[in-house]
Structure 1
Amino acid sequence: MSQVKIYGVREHLLPIRDQLSEVVHSCVVDALQFPQNKRAHRFFYLDKEDFFMPATASERYVILEFIMMEGRTVETRKKLIHLLYERIAEQLGLAVTDLEICILESPAHNWGFRGSTGDEIKLNYNVTI
């Protein structure tokens, strides 16, 4: 299980929303081996004055926060991060200084979906990769 929160300045994030979602999803499918029909993205649009950013970033600055069940190797998580930087720069022209990524993991028993807990449910993809 994985969910993605995407934060950015409204006027810059909204126009790229659909394309960014596609790119992020392609990285999740390739790195985490998710099914194509498994996507949970939430966009948080902020006003400029409500989004403090590093001096090295432009107004196109975006934060990606992945919340997922633990179990993936360090190599798998690094692969996801590297794919995101590569594809977002290539397909959206976003500078590496305008993108920050954080992966937060939680034990499967802390997740609840489809009427069960994450450690009790049978998924159609593998978490321990």
Structure 2
Amino acid sequence: MKAVTYDTDSELAYIYVLPPKRNRNIRSEELKVNDCILLDIDQDGKIAGFECFGEAAHLCAPFTGKSRLYVKDSDGYHFRARHHAAVRSCYTVYGVTFCFSDGNYQEFAGFDLDGTMYHSAFLQRLTEK
């Protein structure tokens, strides 16, 4: 299973937070603080995955096909597209904290998943050991 896909023609990255399901009822909404991130919300109120456009997509593209995407600790799962950038602003929605390396929520740095909402064999398979 690929956790990150990237379409070179449209320059769009997609990150799966939950395993894809054919009959999943999903609605989409834009991340309120950054219009380059579009969230897919499942029927349980969790983020199933999200699309990234622009610079965020380019940052996520190198992770396409990677078998280890997350780092896990007692707080949950963490993904950083900008490994050495300081996080200067965060926005939390549906148990996912989106992190940005600027104060205006424009420079996507990664995200953190709440360990109480998002804990699955799917995420564990994608986690560094």
Please report the TM-score for the alignment, with normalisation by the length of structure 2. Answer: 0.26
Structure of higher CA gyration radius = 1
**Which one has more relative contact order, counting CA pairs under 8 Å at least 6 apart?**
1
